[in-house]
Structure 1
Amino acid sequence: MSEYLFEPEQVFGIEFVGEAAIYPIRRIFCVGRNYVAHAAEMGGEVDREAPWYFTKSPANAVLSGAEVAYPPGTSNYHHEMELAFSLGADVFRATKDEARAAIFGYGCALDMTRRDRQQDGKDHRRPWDLGKDVENAAVFAPMTRVEGVELAEQRIWLSVDGEIRQDADLGEMVWSPVEIIEHLSRYYHLGPGDVVMTGTPAGVGAVEPGQVITGGIDGLTPISLQLVSPE
């Protein structure tokens, strides 16, 4: 094997409750507008024909509890609280049963967003990368194996400095994890290392340096992130 021209970054991994080994991430898929009320507050509607997606880079992911700098190039940085799930089996054009069996674990996540840069993309019919694929903008709490989770209509919530901003339940999702896998696997060979962030409920809003974000989903490990002044 040839040597690298420089030392590559270590693989980013998510912790699992009660386990020493970590789950290595290779891809992060994100579902857009998966809650009706959030779509409405963003001035849009849910596409009930099929879910749709954008991606985030594993290089831009951090673990819950991190202290990160307010990112450059924005004056409107938003929080989005989400359910994330990881895959543990290879699936392509999955049936419902295959999709259900492929889910490895569930966890809390934050999809941090440069809202002004995302709006630029919308206004000019351009990609959302500057708004969504931001350094330290995919935040993951420790996950729980699927066997330890009874996914139903659990509360999903987020607070900033102790003030509740988002408060909903998972039953409000338009597309369930199983349905997402069924659809997404028509376009990708999915497998271990793939993580999906399932969208956010209503109540997203701006955060500032010095503020602390906390969030949770009943039955899962809560999540936190502290913003500090720009570097």
Structure 2
Amino acid sequence: MRLVRYRSPLGGDVARSGAVVEVAGVDRVVDLGADTLPELLAAGSAPLHAAIAAGAAAAPLLSDVRLEAPVRPGKILCLGYNYRGHVPDGVDPTADDPDFPDVFVKTPNTLGGPADPVVVPAVADDVDYEGEIAVVIGRRAKDVGIDDALDHVAGFTILNDVSDRSWQRRQSQWAMGKCFDGFAPLGPWLVTPDEAGDPQDMLVEVVRDGVVTVSQSTATTIFSVAFVVSYLSSVMTLEPGDIISTGTPQKLPAAQGSHRPLRPGDAVTVRIERLGELTTTFIGGPA
């Protein structure tokens, strides 16, 4: 299932949950009520499937509603350096793997919806993008084992970990470069595990200016989703709706060589196999 939070003028512009379904080749949004997506998923999939089947024919067009971030996480936890880079033939690709994930946080002010533009701050002169798979926690997780970790996942969505490298380089901790307002666009929907499939077998791509700048499979990640959920839950309780963003692959060599910081007017699309696309536009701040 593709599950969303949305607002519609016909519904009084109040946030509701919904399911995106294709009817006669067109995407529509079936209303699922005011409960959050983690609350709906906690009740089981059978009521959701029944509601979707009953409401699909009369559902409004997806293009007629405004999507919000699919969840409002209490915590946004992110990984750095979780994809292996290219190595020459004959070299062990795991030789430089770290022993533990590099974990940092993005604060709640960073969260943005899939249609929200990102303001390029006047004080930031090296804004960059990172296309990532975001894991959505569905069941409370504390001290869970790797074998049970995926049972605590509600689904997957897409996060653009927007970052300003100049602020990131100012100090050993990354928070100031990662936590400008709106620097975590999320969406467009939550894809449930039955439809998302194996999280260690997805192609992650980023497109900028019509050019693919990132293209790499999650098969090359150092730490699996199951490991990361288990690892983080050994320190903190993961609550329904929490987000774990699983890191970004390196830019392709040509893209790295021609890279320039993001400016107002730019747009970046993150597309992930079986999860869809998240396009973020960048704008200038108030004069």
In structure 2, distance between residues paired with 1:217 and 1:90: 26
Does the Cα contact within 8 Å between 1:66 and 1:224 map onto a contact in 2?
no
In structure 1, distance between residues paired with 2:274 and 2:138: 20
Quick one: which amino acid aligns to residue 145 of structure 1?
T
In structure 2, distance between residues paired with 1:115 and 1:15: 37
Quick one: which amino acid aligns to residue 83 of structure 2?
Y
Residues 47-77 of structure 1: CA deviation (Å, up to 9, x unaligned): 5211121111222210112223212321110
In structure 2, distance between residues paired with 1:37 and 1:17: 36
**Structure 1 residues 87 and 28, CA gap change in structure 2 (3 angstroms):** same
Quick one: which amino acid aligns to residue 70 of structure 1?
V
Listed as ranges, the gaps of 5+ residues in structure 1 are 1-11, 39-44
What is the CA-CA distance between 1:91 and the residue it aligns to?
1.4
Match of 2:66 in 1: none
Root mean square deviation of aligned Cα? 2.4
Moved over 6 A (4+): 12-16
Identity of aligned residues (%): 22
In structure 2, distance between residues paired with 1:77 and 1:14: 32
> Which of 152, 159, 162 is the matching residue for 2:210?
162
**Structure 1 residues 16 and 30, CA gap change in structure 2 (3 angstroms):** farther
What is the CA-CA distance between 1:165 and the residue it aligns to?
1.1
Match of 1:143 in 2: 190
- Asked whether 1:95 is paired with 2:142, we answer no
What is the CA-CA distance between 1:193 and the residue it aligns to?
2.0
**Structure 1 residues 202 and 192, CA gap change in structure 2 (3 angstroms):** same
Match of 1:186 in 2: 234
Quick one: which amino acid aligns to residue 37 of structure 1?
G
Residues 95-131 of structure 1: CA deviation (Å, up to 9, x unaligned): 123211001111111000011111111xxx3x22110
What secondary structure sits across from 2:151 in the alignment?
A: helix
Does the Cα contact within 8 Å between 2:118 and 2:282 map onto a contact in 1?
yes
Listed as ranges, the gaps of 5+ residues in structure 2 are 1-14, 22-29, 38-70, 87-94
Aligned pairs (5 A) from 1:123-138: 125=172, 127-138=173-184
Match of 2:283 in 1: 228
What secondary structure sits across from 2:117 in the alignment?
A: strand
What is the CA-CA distance between 1:13 and the residue it aligns to?
10
TM-score (norm 1): 0.83
Does the Cα contact within 8 Å between 2:118 and 2:183 map onto a contact in 1?
no
How many equivalent residue pairs?
Answer: 210
Deviates more, 1:22-31 or 1:107-116: 22-31
Does the Cα contact within 8 Å between 2:204 and 2:272 map onto a contact in 1?
yes
In structure 2, distance between residues paired with 1:14 and 1:36: 37
Match of 2:118 in 1: 68
Match of 1:6 in 2: none
TM-score (norm 2): 0.68
Quick one: which amino acid aligns to residue 113 of structure 1?
S
What is the CA-CA distance between 1:174 and the residue it aligns to?
0.7
In structure 1, distance between residues paired with 2:19 and 2:225: 19
> Which of 51, 55, 58 is the matching residue for 2:108?
58
- Asked whether 1:77 is paired with 2:132, we answer no
Does the Cα contact within 8 Å between 2:149 and 2:226 map onto a contact in 1?
yes
What is the CA-CA distance between 1:35 and the residue it aligns to?
1.2
In structure 1, distance between residues paired with 2:237 and 2:139: 10
Quick one: which amino acid aligns to residue 60 of structure 1?
T
What secondary structure sits across from 1:182 in the alignment?
A: helix
Match of 2:223 in 1: 175
What is the CA-CA distance between 1:90 and the residue it aligns to?
1.2
Deviates more, 1:63-72 or 1:94-103: 63-72
What secondary structure sits across from 2:169 in the alignment?
A: helix
